[in-house]
Amino acid sequence: MTENDPRPTLEEVAALAGTSRATASRVVNQSPKVSPSARAAVERAINELGYAPNRAARSLVTRRSDSIGLVVAESEERIFGEPFFASLVRGVSDALAGTDMQLVLLLNRSDQERSRVQRFLSTHVDGVLLVSAHAEEPLLHQLADGPIPAILAGRPLRPTSLPYVDVDNVSGAYQAVRHLVDGGRQRIATIAGPQDMAVGVDRLAGYRTAVDEAATSDEDLVVVGDFSTGSGERGAQELLERHPDIDAIFAASDLMAVGALQALERAGRKVPADVAVVGFDDSVVATTTRPQLTSVHQPISDMGRQMILRLREALEGPTLVPSATVLPTNLVRRGSS
């Protein structure tokens, strides 16, 4: 029985099954209060007609949209750069499969639209995943005060009431530096990320902890970049000028590590013989340099997956949602250290 009929309605299903619309609805919504026979009849009718519920009609009465918004508040290069965005989306999507929720993407719109976002969101999505690198994103505060649940990608620089999921940047940086220490490095410098992002702060904190612990040097071998290749190159150059005797550089991003590699080569330093280099992100570029880059791997897809899990907890139950979920990072050893 192929049906030409576009979009059968619950009413038709009920008619075919010989029940009322209400009972058919109960079957669709997995209500336990349906007799086995009625359930079977309705299920048969659903299959025969190829019925799928009309989402709009359902939303109208339930006041839920069964969709969640992935909001990217800024078009930061770091966010769209590999592997972040694609990996995150993949993880989110994985976790959403099996659910009948859909993912609505909202990239940084113009500021005037931004002001309407709060209302927009509350109309169209049941929950929000917010990706925003910088501290003073107004949307963040709107969401914190608003009625719809939201989960942040990454620790916000200032504490908020919103739960976040993050990778363990502190531990990753710590592992990287420990690895350098274990390799006998004495003067370990870092090219840190921007200090107005938690990810920059955390990676620097991990570096500091490991360096202090090793007590190899008491100077401050820190320079700050912006995660880009260019800033890494300039940073490494500056480090070499100020402290010609450094024998290792921990860069807070792979791109900055690549820049450092370039600066070191120009300065005639051999990697890893003279100076060891470790990056962070474990991105594609880590395998395309020579030597290949030792780097800290971060499970971004899992971060996406966890964000959905947390959001569903917030959506469904009275369960307390953890205010922070931190996923482990691990060092991937390659030729540069």
Considering beta carbons, is residue 24 or 285 the nearer one to DNA? 24
Q: How far is CA 55 from the centre of its chain?
A: 28
Please report, as residue ranges, which positions from 1 to 40 form the binding site for DNA (by CB under 7 A). 7, 9-11, 18-23, 25-26, 28-29, 32-35, 37-38
Among 160, 190, 289, 295, the residue binding its own copies under the rule CB under 8 A is 289
267 binds DNA (CB under 7 A): no
Q: How far is CA 170 from the centre of its chain?
A: 16
State the pairing for strand pair 150-153/127-131.
Answer: parallel
For residues 72 and 139, is the Cβ–Cβ distance under 8 A? no
Among 38, 89, 205, 267, the residue binding its own copies under the rule CB under 8 A is 89
Q: Which residues contact 8 (CB under 8 A, 6 or more apart)?
A: 49, 50, 51
Give the distance between the most distant pair of CA atoms in the chain. 86
Between the alpha carbon of residue 60 and those of residues 65, 124, 292, the distances in Å are: 8, 11, 55
Among 5, 47, 62, 328, the residue binding DNA under the rule CB under 7 A is 62
Tokens 């990778």: give the residue.
167
Query: Exposed, middle or buried by CB within 10 Å (0-12, 13-18, 19+), for 22?
Result: exposed
Among 93, 142, 209, 217, the residue binding its own copies under the rule CB under 8 A is 93
60 binds DNA (CB under 7 A): yes
Among 35, 40, 47, 86, the residue binding its own copies under the rule CB under 8 A is 86
Work out how close the CB of 208 gets to its own copies at its nearest, in angstroms, rounded to a whole number. Answer: 28
Name the residue type at position 180.
L
For residues 173 and 179, is the Cβ–Cβ distance under 8 A? no
Cite the DSSP H helix spans in 128-271: 138-145, 169-182, 198-214, 229-242, 254-266
67 binds DNA (CB under 7 A): no
250: enclosing H helix or E strand:
strand 248-251
122 binds its own copies (CB under 8 A): yes
216 binds DNA (CB under 7 A): no
Q: Which stretch binds its own copies (CB under 8 A): 175-183, 185-193, 280-288, 322-330?
A: 280-288
Among 22, 29, 47, 57, the residue binding its own copies under the rule CB under 8 A is 57
| Residues at the interface with DNA (CB under 7 A) | 7, 9-11, 18-23, 25-26, 28-29, 32-35, 37-38, 51, 53-54, 57-58, 60-62
| Residues at the interface with its own copies (CB under 8 A) | 6-7, 50, 52, 54-60, 65, 67, 70, 75, 80-83, 85-87, 89-90, 93-94, 97, 102-107, 109-110, 113, 116, 119-120, 122-124, 147, 229, 255, 258, 262, 265, 284-285, 287-290
